């Protein structure tokens, strides 16, 4: 294995899920729902499957899916041409990797916000670029963007900034003011923004998801990425997409066509159906997840953890110190065997493990009885 990929030989999700299976643990580690998406979407997939949609779809994605993606983005007030400004990908993961490979190279720096979703560091490395990490800071009871730190991280080699909101693993949803600060930097220094918006619909209370591309000056320099997995409970389908100006989309397509070429034939029309018709179902999902967030947060607090607030995504982070532990990773490795629950330590998503070692991430995209069982087991920790 080449040296630049040596840090990335296994993922925490694969390792934790394997450990959870070995110990028959309740798996609140890897974030995936344990119920299916809307029936209409499943039926659309079945119909496509039996209706012959089993060969290569068109390179940019099926036309009805690109039209549905454009229609969905229009809800935020941004218009994209389905023919030149939208590309369907193998999940957001491929969209992120192909964007970085297409738009950054050796000598370029990419700003990444820490903690970061694990594929970012690997994708920057595959592109041959370097990551510059800026940490979130705990302020006013939430994990906030360190605007000063962000400014200080820009150099004459900075090419792009990768922004994830709603944010995995902290559950932060960036405010308009935070996004304006990002936009100002991008415009001043002529940077490309790559946004990971896979949790765009999973925002709670009065939080609002604001796509960076809707801010002045950002439409033409933002590669907006999302996917169906989190919105429609179909993480295994791996249907994602890129929305950007024609030049950026053409660049990403150049990389994407030689990574997977195309993927997900029969799932593409099903996701088109979902984007066109199933947003009321998603609203129910959102409400239900908000209840699950409260259910798990309450249970974790009762088990003795110091729970951090979550405004979006389906993750909640806790500080393990009140229970007498210093390193959440050590706890995470023994938790499946000790009490039969799996979780993910936040420090594995960072370049500064010492600063983040107290935090443990739990996923709450699970049936209520599963959450309750996890909490019952975790109470045995004290």
Residues engaged in binding ligand PMP (CB under 6 A)? 91-93, 117, 164, 168, 196, 198, 227, 229, 235, 238, 240
By beta-carbon proximity to ligand PMP, the closer residue of 178 and 196 is 196
CB 109 within 8 A of CB 159: yes
CB of 324 to ligand GLN, least distance (A): 26
CB of 128 to ligand PMP, least distance (A): 21
CA distance 361 to 316: 6
By beta-carbon proximity to ligand GLN, the closer residue of 80 and 315 is 315
Supply 367's token pair. 């049936």
CB 12 within 8 A of CB 348: yes
For residue 156, the tally of other CB atoms under 10 A from its CB is 6
Residue 57: phi, psi to the nearest 5?
Answer: -75, 170
CB of 182 to ligand GLN, least distance (A): 22
196 binds, among ligand GLN, ligand PMP, none (CB under 5 to 8 A by kind): ligand PMP
CA distance 299 to 378: 9
30 binds, among ligand PMP, ligand GLN, none (CB under 5 to 8 A by kind): ligand GLN
By beta-carbon proximity to ligand PMP, the closer residue of 222 and 227 is 227
CB 309 within 8 A of CB 171: yes
The yes or no reply on residue 13 touching ligand GLN (CB under 6 A) is yes
- Cα distances (Å, whole numbers) of residue 160 to 206, 215, 272, 317: 30, 17, 30, 28
- Say which residues have a Cβ less than 8 Å from residue 366's Cβ, sequence separation at least 6: 26, 28, 33, 34, 292, 374
111: helix, coil or strand? strand
The yes or no reply on residue 31 touching ligand GLN (CB under 6 A) is yes
CB of 30 to ligand GLN, least distance (A): 5
CB of 313 to ligand GLN, least distance (A): 9
Place of tokens 């239900």: 288
The yes or no reply on residue 231 touching ligand GLN (CB under 6 A) is no
Residue 263: phi, psi to the nearest 5?
Answer: -165, 165
DSSP code, position 273: H
245 binds, among ligand PMP, ligand GLN, none (CB under 5 to 8 A by kind): none
By beta-carbon proximity to ligand PMP, the closer residue of 265 and 322 is 265
191 binds, among ligand PMP, ligand GLN, none (CB under 5 to 8 A by kind): none
CB of 155 to ligand PMP, least distance (A): 25
13 binds, among ligand GLN, ligand PMP, none (CB under 5 to 8 A by kind): ligand GLN
Give residue 113's region: left, alpha or beta (phi > 0; psi -120 to 50): beta
CB of 97 to ligand GLN, least distance (A): 13
92 binds, among ligand GLN, ligand PMP, none (CB under 5 to 8 A by kind): ligand PMP
CA distance 148 to 381: 40
Residues 154-173 that bind ligand GLN (CB under 6 A): 168
Binding site for ligand GLN (CB under 6 A): 11, 13, 30-31, 168
């Amino acid at each position: 294995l080449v040296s630049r990929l040596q840090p990335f030989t296994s993922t925490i999700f694969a390792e934790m899920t394997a450990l959870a299976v070995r110990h028959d643990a309740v798996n609140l580690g890897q974030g995936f729902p344990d119920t299916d998406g809307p029936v209409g979407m499943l039926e659309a997939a079945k119909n496509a499957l039996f209706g012959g949609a089993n060969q290569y779809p068109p390179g940019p994605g099926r036309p009805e899916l690109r039209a549905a993606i454009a229609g969905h983005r229009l809800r935020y007030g941004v218009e994209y041409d389905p023919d030149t400004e939208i590309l369907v990908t193998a999940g957001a993961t491929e969209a992120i990797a192909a964007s970085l490979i297409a738009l950054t190279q050796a000598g370029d720096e990419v700003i990444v916000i820490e903690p970061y979703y694990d594929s970012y560091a690997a994708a920057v490395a595959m592109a041959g670029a370097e990551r510059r990490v800026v940490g979130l800071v705990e302020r006013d009871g939430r994990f906030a963007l360190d605007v000063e730190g962000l400014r200080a991280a820009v150099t004459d080699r900075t090419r792009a900034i990768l922004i994830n909101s709603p944010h995995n693993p902290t559950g932060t949803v960036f405010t308009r003011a935070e996004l304006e600060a990002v936009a100002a930097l991008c415009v001043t220094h002529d940077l490309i923004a790559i946004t990971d918006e896979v949790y765009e619909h999973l925002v709670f209370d009065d939080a609002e998801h604001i796509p960076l591309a809707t801010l002045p000056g950002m439409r033409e320099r933002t590669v907006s990425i999302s996917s169906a997995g989190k919105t429609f409970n179909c993480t295994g389908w791996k249907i994602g997409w890129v929305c950007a100006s024609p030049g950026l989309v053409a660049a990403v397509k150049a990389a994407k066509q030689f990574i997977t070429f195309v993927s997900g034939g029969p799932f593409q029309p099903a996701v088109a159906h979902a984007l066109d018709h199933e947003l009321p179902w998603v609203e129910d999902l959102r409400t239900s997840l908000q209840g699950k967030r409260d259910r798990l947060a309450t249970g974790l607090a009762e088990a003795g953890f110091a729970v951090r607030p979550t405004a979006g995504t389906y993750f909640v982070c806790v500080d393990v110190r009140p229970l007498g532990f210093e390193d959440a990773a050590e706890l995470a490795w023994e938790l499946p065997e000790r009490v039969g629950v799996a979780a993910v330590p936040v420090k594995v998503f960072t370049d500064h493990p010492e600063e983040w070692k107290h935090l443990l991430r739990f996923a709450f995209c699970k049936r209520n009885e599963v959450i309750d069982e996890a909490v019952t087991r975790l109470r045995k920790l004290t």
